[in-house]
Amino acid sequence: MKLKWCRAITVTLLIIYFNSVLTNIVSLRQRWFVETINNGTAMTPLYDSLFADWLHGYDIPLQDKITLRDMIDVFTYLWVLSTILIWFVFSRNPVLIAKAISAQMLLVPTFSISQLFTIVPDATPNCLQVYNIPHHTDYWWPFYNYPIRGCGNMLWSSDVTQLVIFTTLASQMVSDRKKVLKCLIWFIGEIWTVATIALILTARYQYSVDVLSTVVVVKLAMTHPWIDHFAKRCFIKKPGYYARSPMQELPDSDIHSRMA
């Protein structure tokens, strides 16, 4: 089996662009809501019991929160890139990368579109001002501007999504016969994800319910057989089938003569 590289790369780039546009549209809609419906008043973040009662995040200065958010990206990209590098060096099983792309095709549009269903205050106070979201009358910037971060409740955690997907793939690279190594890779991935979640909650990057729901939904999606079937159908080249040459039938006389 071989990976359809052209199709895989094209779909990956389209997913990244589609996600960027929808993230910007969510921020643009948030700006529109504040300036029109909410009479220019910034929305107050929702009360997050885990964040406020246990982590006391309201006392964290903004510059420290931004630093923690940079660490979230470092943790996420480091794990993803390390998994891809290890796959390229030791595995190169095309089904694994195909499953990662298929999961992105399902989850990224679903998560992005679901943010447009309702208006929820961002977890960051004054997010529109902090991240300089353009004025709502400029309707074209979402299509050419790459978002550093969107404003508007994310509903799902994109960082946790990537960690869960690539932790699953990392453990699947190891043969089932090497159970100890397989469990070790899985354990390291889970600890890495938990550490990233701690940074997310401490930095007040997203609501706690967003993070927890992401873990459940993505784990269920990655274990569903539909992902595997879709990946093989769309991104895997099937090996060529060579029909056996038909045997030439000999006349009865030749058969008897050979037997004699």
Secondary structure element (H or E) that encloses residue 237, with its range: strand 236-237
Closest CA to 123 of 57, 35, 36: 57
Residue that is written with structure tokens 């006392």 in the block: 59
| pLDDT digits (tens), the chain, 260 positions | 788 899 999 999 999 999 999 999 999 999 999 988 888 888 888 888 777 776 665 566 666 777 788 889 899 999 999 999 999 888 888 999 999 999 999 998 888 888 888 888 888 888 888 888 888 777 888 998 888 888 887 678 889 999 999 999 999 998 888 889 999 999 999 999 999 998 888 888 888 888 999 999 999 999 889 998 999 999 998 754 444 444 444 455 554 555 55
Q: Which two tokens stand for residue 170?
A: 């990392």
Q: How many CA atoms lie within 13 A of 81 on its CB side?
A: 6
- The residues spanned by each domain of the chain are 2-236
Instruction: Please list, in sequence order, all residues whose beta carbon lies within 8 angstroms of the beta carbon of residue 31, skipping any fewer than 6 positions away.
Output: 128, 133, 134, 135, 136, 151
